[in-house]
Amino acid sequence: MIFDVLTLFPEMIENYCNFSIMKRASEANIISVNAINPRDFTLDKHKKVDDTPYGGGAGMVLMAQPYVDAYESIKKVENSVTVMLSPQGEPLSDDIVNEFANFDQMILLCGHYEGFDERIREIIKPREISLGDFVLTGGELPALCLIDAVSRKLEGTLGKIESADEDSFSNGLIEYPHYTKPRVYRGLSVPEVLLNGNHKDINEFRFQKSLERTKLKRPDLYAKWLKNQNQTTD
């Protein structure tokens, strides 16, 4: 997967991707992350990328020309998707992450300051994705979240293929509780069933815990899961 990220702050993207699992995935050529700076595509000597909004109001607006030229400089592969990160977008979900993992290239458009000149949307026509109903100072963190979430779905990124399947949401439920050594910590014991090596019992225990927690912590997900179960047994 090639990630091409349009951002005024390329180091933010490069830095994050140079650690831990992202770094390993890059070294294994599973992903390639490139940051492109619209500032390099400005035509004036001050390298201006933003200006005051027509009609007045607070904040600065990203100018269309440097952004569109930077976008058009990117070499597109056949199976490519362009995504703008913005609170106006469709809320990100595990289903959308899985969908994106099927592409060979993702071009990610990060804003900063108030927002994009609307003509950037009109010309590029990106898919718009939001991380949630809150406002950040820039699209870099949402872009990194997307890169991270998509990368871990790609074969070879995680140590074992199973480790992605057992995480929250992969079966529509949130995760069961995890324990490691020691067996007793501050008087709190690891559940007995996890120590006896009976995998049928362990799976059943984990499944019940997943159900219990989803019902308690995410009644919305639980209702969706129940509905799904009924549909598949009908």
Cα dihedral: 110, 113, 114, 118 (round 10): -40
Q: Indicate which single residue of 44, 134, 182, 196 sits in contact with ligand 4GS (rule: CB under 6 A).
A: 134
Q: Indicate which single residue of 96, 139, 157, 213 sits in contact with ligand 4GS (rule: CB under 6 A).
A: 139
Active site residue 213: no
Answer yes or no whether residue 146 interacts with ligand 4GS by CB under 6 A: no
Residue 145, burial from CB neighbour count under 10 angstroms (0-12, 13-18, 19+): middle
- Yes or no: say if 65 and 44 are a contact pair by the CB < 8 Å rule: no
Active site residue 72: no
SS3 assignment, position 219: helix
Answer yes or no whether residue 26 interacts with ligand 4GS by CB under 6 A: no
Active site residue 87: yes
DSSP 185-212: ETTEEPPGGGTS--HHHHHHHHHHHHHH
What is the footprint of ligand 4GS within residues 56-95 (CB under 6 A)? 85-87
SS3 assignment, position 96: helix
Of 152, 175, 212, 218, the active-site residue reads: 152
Strands 184-185, 188-189: pairing is: antiparallel
Task: Tell me which stretch binds ligand 4GS (CB under 6 A): 18-26, 45-53, 109-117, 218-226.
Answer: 109-117
Answer yes or no whether residue 115 interacts with ligand 4GS by CB under 6 A: yes
Which CB atom, from 31 or from 62, has the smaller least distance to ligand 4GS? Answer: 62
Give catalytic residue positions: 87, 114, 152, 167
